[in-house]
Amino acid sequence: MTQQAGTEGTPPPGARGDKAKTALSVVAVLGLAALAFLGVREAQRARLVPDGVSPPTFQLTKHEGGSLALSDLKGSVVMLDFWATWCPPCREEMPYLVKLAKEYESQGLVFVAASRDEGSTASQEVDYFLQRFQPDLRPYVVYADDNVARAFQVNALPTLYFLDRDGKVIDAQRGMLSEDGLRRRIERALKR
């Protein structure tokens, strides 16, 4: 007995070609999605302060009292993170930032955690967050008002900047990074 094309066990004519076309279509769509993602990431980076720029000097109020000017940190590599207690990606990323700040401190890294919590209750909200979730963050916290956020083009959180030993921007990232991604950026910044 002869088996006809399209019956059990034998693909109908053109089926293999259809599968190949479908696979190529999927690969093409994934490739376009990857290019779009990279384009969006590059566009986001383009809206941040460009590398080589020295940001304006501001006096930032420290959570524990006193003030800090970024210009006071010349000679160190600064990891400046804009975050808020109400920001889920910020909260998720913060343990890595604190851990790596402590790890690389002896190599000249200074961590500044610039809170964007606002209003009359900001310090209480930050204090509650520190006590409950991240007590090791306490010495790094400063408050970044709207003028500071505008100068650093912060319109989404988290936003991370690295400043070189001369106080110039050498890297910036909008959005959360993994611990490995943060480590790579820190090591690259320290080598400059």
Residues 129 and 34 in one domain: no
Residues 110 and 174 in one domain: yes
Share above pLDDT 90 across residues of the chain, in percent, rounded to a whole number: 72
Q: Which residue's entry shows tokens 């190949």?
A: 20
- Does position 32 have pLDDT exceeding 80, yes or no? no
Q: For residues 82 and 30, is the Cβ–Cβ distance under 8 A?
A: no
Residues 119 and 177 in one domain: yes
pTM: 0.76
Stretch among 1-15, 22-36, 66-80, 140-154 having the lowest mean pLDDT:
22-36
SS3 label, residue 185: helix
Residues 79 and 113 in one domain: yes
Which domain range does residue 22 map to? Answer: 18-47
Tell me if 54 is assigned to some domain.
no
Q: Write down the mean pLDDT value for the chain.
A: 85
SS3 label, residue 97: helix
Q: For residues 9 and 152, what is the distance between their CA atoms, to the nearest angstrom?
A: 64
Residues 114 and 134 in one domain: yes
